[in-house]
Amino acid sequence: MASLLQASLDQCDGFNRAECASYIGNGMFGVTTSNSVLRSSLVIGSLAVLALLGYHFVGLSNRPSEPPLIRGPIPILGVALSFLRDPERFLLKCQQQYGDTFSLYLAGKRVHVVCDSIEAIPAVFRNFKTFPFSAFVRHLDIRLFGVPEQQAKDDALYKANLDRLAPNLLAQASVETLIKAFHKNLQAILPTAIRKLDVDGNLKQDGIILELDVWLRKIMFECTGRTVFGETWPSGDGIFDDYTEWDDGTYDVIKGYPSFLIRKPILARERFYRRLLEMLRKPLVNANPLILERLKVLFRKGN
């Protein structure tokens, strides 16, 4: 280093040797400092990569109560590339390999996939930490159902309502009660609906033109209403028409389209609510315990 510095100083003919030495020294130390920073950056980068790999392949795993986790080969991205390339094919392959319920590691987040909603109901509702739907439920409450934001974000109210589901909806005895009530109501509603079609005996003679999906939907709607709310459930086309207009605009409302585009479903929702409130002013007759329990929660919170 000394000989190199001396050789450099010998080239400084006609210049101030002190200034020249200072310039050369700074240049040499600058190169040394740059190399040191580069080495430090490489070391830090290597450690970061090793940490990501270690977390992805060792630290990232599913807990005993969670569904199988498909983490993919790339840290942070996970299975994002495979999913984006062909989502349907990828999900079907995962279902075939891991079953109807599994989790995907996508862009740093866990995404739970439920292929069979019926089979997954007990697991989903009994394991709230693994399947936290609270954020999505709040979004639906505010956008779709028009719940005030303060009430939608009331965690105590949300939990109190959720606690009523397992004993009143998921328990075997409750399921059997619902099925029996639904069957009983269907036996009463279906013959009446058929008689309404047979105007002047046309049903038995030439037949009629019928939108079967709408007709069946109306029967299921009324039957479900009576099963849940009891005999107090209002009859007639008004409440069904309001519900279907609201339901048909569900996607547009959830997406938050401009108010002039979703005016009809929103107005239909408010008419539907008014009909429910009018019904609830009367004593409920043979209502399902789930509704009675949720009404207790609502009135207890003063909402």
Structure confidence by residue, pLDDT tens digits, 32-52: 556 676 777 776 767 766 766
Assess whether 227 and 286 both reside in one domain.
Answer: yes
**DSSP symbols for the chain:** -HHHHHHHHHT-TTS-HHHHHHHHHHHHHHHHHHHHHHHHHHHHHHHHHHHHHHIIIII----TTSPPEE--SBTTTBTHHHHHH-HHHHHHHHHHHH-SEEEEEETTEEEEEES-HHHHHHHHHH-TTTS--HHHHHHHHHHTS---HHHHT-HHHHHHHHHTHIIIIISHHHHHHHHHHHHHHHHHHHHHHHHHH-GGGTTTTT-----HHHHHHHHHHHHHHHHHHGGGSPPSHHHHHHHHHHHHTHHHHHHT--TTTSHHHHHHHHHHHHHHHHHHTSPPSS--HHHHHHHHHHHHHT-
Residue 186 pLDDT > 90, yes or no? Answer: yes
Helix 172-197 crosses helix 212-229 at what angle (to 10 degrees)?
Answer: 130
Of 73, 131, 137, nearest to 105 by C-alpha is: 73
Q: Which residue has the higher pLDDT, 136 or 282?
A: 282
- Structural domain contains residue 292: yes
Question: According to the model, what pLDDT value does residue 228 have?
Answer: 92
Question: According to the model, what pLDDT value does residue 8 have?
Answer: 44
- Structural domain contains residue 153: no
Assess whether 83 and 193 both reside in one domain.
Answer: no
Band of pLDDT at residue 74, cut at 50, 70 and 90: confident
- Structural domain contains residue 155: no
Question: According to the model, what pLDDT value does residue 205 have?
Answer: 78
Quick check: pTM over 0.75? no
Q: Are 89 and 134 in contact, with CB atoms under 8 Å apart?
A: no
Residue 152 pLDDT > 80, yes or no? Answer: yes
Band of pLDDT at residue 215, cut at 50, 70 and 90: very high
Question: According to the model, what pLDDT value does residue 278 have?
Answer: 92
Give the whole-angstrom CA distance, residue 113 versus residue 104. 7
Q: What value does the mean pLDDT take over residues 138-145? A: 89
Band of pLDDT at residue 24, cut at 50, 70 and 90: very low
**Mean pLDDT (the chain, rounded):** 79
Assess whether 76 and 45 both reside in one domain.
Answer: no
Band of pLDDT at residue 248, cut at 50, 70 and 90: very high
- Structural domain contains residue 154: no
Assess whether 200 and 275 both reside in one domain.
Answer: yes
Assess whether 199 and 265 both reside in one domain.
Answer: yes
- Structural domain contains residue 27: yes
Q: What value does the mean pLDDT take over residues 192-213? A: 82
Residue 78 pLDDT > 90, yes or no? Answer: no
Assess whether 258 and 275 both reside in one domain.
Answer: yes
Assess whether 277 and 224 both reside in one domain.
Answer: yes
Residue 82 pLDDT > 80, yes or no? Answer: yes
CA dihedral 143, 150, 303, 267 (to 10 degrees): -20
- Structural domain contains residue 36: yes
Assess whether 285 and 201 both reside in one domain.
Answer: yes
Domain boundary among 59, 76, 92: 59
Assess whether 112 and 202 both reside in one domain.
Answer: no
Band of pLDDT at residue 77, cut at 50, 70 and 90: confident
Listed ranges 68-72, 91-95, 103-107; the one with the highest mean pLDDT: 91-95
Assess whether 232 and 216 both reside in one domain.
Answer: yes
Q: What value does the mean pLDDT take over residues 109-123? A: 73
- Structural domain contains residue 137: no
- Structural domain contains residue 231: yes
Total domain count, the chain: 3
Per the structure, the complete domain to which residue 76 belongs is given by 60-117
Assess whether 92 and 175 both reside in one domain.
Answer: no
Helix 289-301 crosses helix 212-229 at what angle (to 10 degrees)?
Answer: 70
All residues at 6 or more sequence positions from 49 whose CB lies less than 8 Å from its CB, including other chains: none
Domain boundary among 101, 117, 133: 117
Assess whether 9 and 82 both reside in one domain.
Answer: no
